[in-house]
Amino acid sequence: MTYLHANERRFIDELKDYLRLPTISAQAEHASDMVAGARWVADHCRAMGLQAEVCPTPGHPVVLANTPRRPGKRPRVLIYGHYDVQPPDPLEGWESPPFEPRVVGGRLFARGASDNKGQHFAHLKAVEAYLRTGTELPCDLTFVIEGEEEVGSAHLPEVLRRRRAELTCDCVVISDTGMPSLKLPALTYALRGIAALEIKVTGPNRDLHSGIYGGSVANPAMVLSQLLAGLVNQQGRVTVPGFYAKVKALSAFERRQMGRLPHQDAAYRRFLGSPALFGERGYTSEERRTARPTLEINGLTSGYQGEGSKTIVPSWASAKLTLRLVPDQSPASIVRLMKAHLRRICPPTVRLEVKAGHGAEPYWVSPEGPLAAAALAALRRGFGREPVLIREGGSIPIVVGFRKILRAESLLLGLALPDANAHSPNESFHLEAFSGGMRMSAHLWAELGQTLARRPASSAS
Amino acid sequence: MTYLHANERRFIDELKDYLRLPTISAQAEHASDMVAGARWVADHCRAMGLQAEVCPTPGHPVVLANTPRRPGKRPRVLIYGHYDVQPPDPLEGWESPPFEPRVVGGRLFARGASDNKGQHFAHLKAVEAYLRTGTELPCDLTFVIEGEEEVGSAHLPEVLRRRRAELTCDCVVISDTGMPSLKLPALTYALRGIAALEIKVTGPNRDLHSGIYGGSVANPAMVLSQLLAGLVNQQGRVTVPGFYAKVKALSAFERRQMGRLPHQDAAYRRFLGSPALFGERGYTSEERRTARPTLEINGLTSGYQGEGSKTIVPSWASAKLTLRLVPDQSPASIVRLMKAHLRRICPPTVRLEVKAGHGAEPYWVSPEGPLAAAALAALRRGFGREPVLIREGGSIPIVVGFRKILRAESLLLGLALPDANAHSPNESFHLEAFSGGMRMSAHLWAELGQTLARRPASSAS
C-alpha cells in the first residue's frame, strides 16, 4: 500500500500516456493505432515484470500477460480488460480534446479513462506493487486485455478456446462496470441478458391509395400496433405466456441490498426527463431496471415518414424489439415463446415474419457465496467503506464466454462513477476511484488466494 | 353525332398533340411547358370558336374559355378539367416514352391520357360539334381548365372568387373519375372527405440505453401502439366516441346500386396482393372502400430503423393518420373528437401532441335528383348502356370549392377505366371511352338544358 501511495503521481502520468493513444476499434483509419495500443500494453506489462504477448486475431490483437509462473499450485485468476475505446464523437461536446488527457477537479478526463483503460490499469499497478516490492503474490495472474470490446468481442472467444490450457483459471476479475458513488464501492453480481427480435407484418403487395382502397383491407401498421399493444399490459407485465416461468425471484436478501442504494425516484425521473416513471407493478424502479425482465420496442417503421402526409395504406410495418432477460431465462427459449405467441395472436389479414437477432444469456453469481465474500472484503479494505451488492441492467456477453469456455465465474468490480460519461463526450475517471481500485485490487489477490486455496479447483462458483 | 364520328381520327391526332406537351406541374424545370400547355388549350379553344383567356395566378395559369354569349337567359354549366399531369416516374416502367403518345389495342398511351387531358378533351370536342355544325347549344358553357390539380389546386379557389360573377353557373361537370368498365358508364354521386392527423408521444428527453434504464419508464413506441390499437376494433369499427354520429346511412336504393357493380372479392383480393380482405362488419368491401368512413395509419416512426438492432428506449414515437369521411362528417369536428379521445386515453407516462393536417369535406349529391337523372340519361344515350351510380373513396377538394364559392353542385362523369394507370407508368385512355364520352357530352348539354330550364336557378342540387 505504501508503494501504491508513493508512486501514484507516476501511475497517473503513465495512464495519461496510455490514454493518448486513439485506440478506436470501430474506425478502420485507427488500425495502426490499435496495433500501437496493444504493443504499448504488452511493453508496459513486460517493464513491470510480467510475461507478455501480443496475440494476433483476424481483427484487433489481444494482449496476454501473466505473472512469472512459480513452482507449486496456486489459485489462478484471470483479469479481463480492453484497450479499445469508443469513437469520441460528437467532438464538439468535449471541453478538452478527447486524446489529450488532463486532470480537473480530481477527475482524469479523456476518451477511455473509465471505459476501460483506467479500470484495468488499476489492477496492473496493484500487481506492479507486489512485483516491485518483492511481495509474494497469493495467486497466479493472467491479464487478458482485448481490443474489440466496443465492437462486439468477435475474436476473443476463439483466443480463449485456442489458449484454454494456459487460460484455465479459478475465477475472472473484471472492472468494467460502475459503482454508485465513492462512498459505495460495489460488487455487481448479476447482469441482464438480451434477445433481439424483428417483427414485420405485410398486407397488400404495395402501398395503396387510402381513398380508393382504404376500408377494404387491414392496415398493416394498425395490425402491428395491435400485436405490440397486447405484449405488455397496464401493470407493466409482459403478457406472453410462459415469459416469467424461468425467472429466478429476487430473494429477500437481494431486495434488502438494493434498498441500501441511494436511489431517489423524483431525481431519477428528472434525470430521464420523462413525465413519469413506469414499470412492472410490485417492484421498485431500481429493481425493474436491473433485476426484472422487460420487453422494449427499439424502433417502429411503416409507410410515409416525411413532411406532411401521404394518404396510403402502407404495404407493411415493422418493429424492432429487445427483451432484457434475467436468470434463468434463455434468449433461445424466449425467442421461441415470442414467435409462437405472435403467430397465435396475428390475424389472417396480414403475413407475419419474426426474425431473431442477437442474444446474450443473463448472468448471476451468488452474492452470498465465498467468491463474493472475498470481493466484498477487498472492496471494504480498499475503499474503507461498506460495499454494496448491485445488479446491472445491461449485458456483458464475454462473462458468459468465460463461463462457457473456461468454466470460470466472473467478479464484476466496477470503478466507474455515475458521472463517468462512458460512450459520451467528457469521459472521466475519478482519481479516488483509481487509488481505491488499486488498493482493492492489491487486497483482492490476498482475499482470493485464501478463499480459493480452501476449495477444490473444480467448483469455482 | 355524325360530326363526332366523322372527325374522330382528327380528334385523336389533336389529343396526341396535346399529350406531347410535358405539362408536369410539380417540377420547376417544366414551368415553360406549363405556360405552353395553357396557351395550347386557349388557342385550341379559340380555333373551335370559344372565347378563351389564359388567366395568370401566382402558380400555373388557369384557362377560362366560354361559348359565345347569346341574348336571352340560358342555363349555365361550368366544365372543369386540368392540363397538368403527374411526373412520369419511374421512367423505366414505361413501354413507350410517356410524352410520345401512341395507340395500341384501342388505347391511347401517354402521361395525362386519362388524367386528365383525354377526359376534358372529350367535352371540348362535343362542344366543337355543336359550334361547327351550327347546332344551338342548350346551355351556355364555360371551361375552367387549371394547371395545378396534381399539386393541390392552390390557386384555383382565388380565381373562382375573383371571377365569381362570370363563373356563376347552375352546375359543374367534371370528368376526372372512373367508370367500372366500358359496359358500365357511371355517375359518381359521392366522394369521401378526409382529415389528416399526426400523433406524437414523448417519454424521456433522449433515447435511453434499454439495458441500463429499460423497465423504469414507459416506452413511447409501446404507448403509441397501445393508443393506436384501441382506435379500431376487431370488427373494423372506429371506436372513437361520436365518430359515426353524423354518418348518413346508406339507403336501400344506394346499396342496390352498389350491388349492381361487377365486384368480385376473390379477384379484388388477388389484385391487392393481400392475404385477406378486412373491414367494418356488415358492409361489402365495395361499400367499405367508398361509402364508409375509415381510420388509416399512413406511417409510423420511432427509434432505430437501420440494419440490425440498437438497444434503446426511444425518446418518442409518432404516427401519421388519415380518416376518410363520409357525409355528413366534417373534418374539423372529427379532428376535435380524435384529439379529445386521445387526450382521454393517453397515460400520464408520456407527453401527447396531436397536430391536425389537411382536411376536405365529403361530397354527396342526390343520386335520385333531377341533375343526376339528366346525367344518367346522357350516359345511357352516349354509351348505349344502362349506367351505374357509384361512390368513390377518394377526395376531389375542388368540388367542395365549387359548392362553397359558386354554390354549384358537381356532376362527376368519369371516363377512366380501371386499367387507366393514372399516376403510374403506361397511363392510357380507351378510345371507346373517348368516343362514348364525346357522345355523352353532346347529349348532356341537351339533357341539362331541359332539366335546368325547368327549375329556378337558385336550387341547383
In degrees, rounded to 5, the angle at the alpha carbon of residue B299 between the alpha carbons of residues B293 and B303 is 145
H helix or E strand, kind and range, residue A38: helix A31-48
Place of cell 496495433: A35
Mean pLDDT in chain A?
94
pLDDT tens track for B317-356: 999 999 999 999 999 999 999 999 999 999 999 999 999 9
- At A90 the pLDDT is 83
Is a pLDDT exceeding 50 seen at residue B388? yes
Q: Which residue of B has its CA nearest to A290?
A: B212
CATH of A193-247+293-358, picked from 3.40.50.970, 3.30.70.360, 3.30.360.10, 3.40.50.10320, is 3.30.70.360
Q: Per-residue b/e over B319-342, b at no fewer than 16 CB within 10 Å?
A: bbbbbbbbbebbbeebbebbbebb
DSSP state of B406: I
| CB contact B192 to A (< 8 Å) | yes
Distance in angstroms (rounded) separating the CA atoms of residues B412 and B399: 9
Mean pLDDT in chain B?
94
- At B458 the pLDDT is 47
CATH 3.30.70.360 location in chain A: 193-247+293-358
Q: What residues of chain A lie within 8 A of the CB of B229, using their CB? A: 222, 225-226, 228-230
Is a pLDDT exceeding 60 seen at residue B127? yes
pLDDT tens track for A191-203: 999 999 999 999 9
A25 close to A151: Cβ distance less than 8 angstroms: yes
> DSSP 3-state helix, strand, coil percentages of chain A (rounded to 5)?
35, 25, 40
Those residues with Cβ within 8 angstroms of residue A371's Cβ, 6 or more apart along the chain or in another chain: A171, A365, A409, A411, A448, A451, A460, A461
| CB contact A347 to B (< 8 Å) | yes
Is a pLDDT exceeding 50 seen at residue A431? yes
- Of residues A232 and A72, more confidence is placed in A232
Q: 3-class SS at A32?
A: helix
Residue among A348, A333, A189, A167 nearest A254 (CA): A189
Distance in angstroms (rounded) separating the CA atoms of residues A416 and A179: 6
Ranges A393-407, B286-300, B338-352: which has the least confidence: A393-407
A448 close to A139: Cβ distance less than 8 angstroms: yes
Q: What residues of chain A lie within 8 A of the CB of B310, using their CB? A: 298-299, 320
Is A278 in contact with B208 (Cβ distance < 8 A)? no
- At B456 the pLDDT is 59
| CB contact A348 to B (< 8 Å) | yes
- Of residues A428 and B74, more confidence is placed in A428
CATH 3.40.630.10 location in chain A: 2-191+362-453
Radius of gyration (C-alpha) of chain A in whole angstroms: 24
Is a pLDDT exceeding 60 seen at residue B438? yes
Q: Average the pLDDT over B172-195 and give the result.
A: 95
- At A423 the pLDDT is 84
Query: Percent of chain B, pLDDT > 70?
Result: 98
- At A456 the pLDDT is 59
CA distance B6 to chain A (A): 37
Using pLDDT thresholds of 50, 70 and 90, give the confidence band for residue A459.
very low
Distance in angstroms (rounded) separating the CA atoms of residues B322 and B298: 7
Q: What residues of chain A lie within 8 A of the CB of B319, using their CB? A: 221
- At B152 the pLDDT is 84
- Of residues B123 and A26, more confidence is placed in B123
- At B263 the pLDDT is 83
CA distance B278 to chain A (A): 4
Q: What residues of chain A lie within 8 A of the CB of B221, using their CB? A: 228, 297-300, 319
DSSP state of A204: S
- At A380 the pLDDT is 98
Q: Average the pLDDT over B35-47 and give the result.
A: 98
| CB contact A35 to B (< 8 Å) | no
The packing angle between helices B8-20 and B31-48, to 10°, is 160
Is a pLDDT exceeding 70 seen at residue A458? no
Q: Average the pLDDT over A27-53 and give the result.
A: 97
Is A273 in contact with B214 (Cβ distance < 8 A)? no
Those residues with Cβ within 8 angstroms of residue B252's Cβ, 6 or more apart along the chain or in another chain: none
pLDDT tens track for A65-119: 999 988 878 899 999 999 999 999 888 889 999 999 999 999 999 999 999 999 9
C-alpha distances out from residue B222 to A321, B201, B346, B398, Å: 10, 10, 12, 39
Q: What residues of chain B lie within 8 A of the CB of A296, using their CB? A: 210, 214, 219, 222, 311-313
Name the CATH topology of B193-247+293-359. Answer: Alpha-Beta Plaits (3.30.70)
- At B454 the pLDDT is 81
Is a pLDDT exceeding 80 seen at residue A325? yes
Report the sign of the C-alpha dihedral through residues A310, A316, A317, A322, in that order: negative
Is a pLDDT exceeding 70 seen at residue A359? yes
Query: Percent of chain B, pLDDT > 90?
Result: 87
CA distance A240 to chain B (A): 15
Q: Which residue of A has its CA nearest to B288?
A: A215
Cα dihedral value B18, B425, B292, A214, nearest 10: -150
Q: Identify which of A194, A225, A278 has the shortest CB distance to residue B311.
A: A194
Distance in angstroms (rounded) separating the CA atoms of residues A369 and A459: 12
Q: And the C-alpha cell for B133?
A: 355544325
Is a pLDDT exceeding 70 seen at residue B457? no
Interface of A with B in 381-400 (CB under 8 A): 392-395
| CB contact B190 to A (< 8 Å) | no
CA distance B269 to chain A (A): 9
CATH 3.30.70.360 location in chain B: 193-247+293-359
- Residue A246's φ and ψ, nearest 5 degrees, are -95, 5
Is A303 in contact with B320 (Cβ distance < 8 A)? yes
Name the CATH topology of A2-191+362-453. Answer: Aminopeptidase (3.40.630)
Alpha-carbon A168 to chain mean position: 22
- Residue B63's φ and ψ, nearest 5 degrees, are -95, 125
Q: Which residue of B has its CA nearest to A305?
A: B299
Is a pLDDT exceeding 90 seen at residue B151? no
B104 close to B44: Cβ distance less than 8 angstroms: no
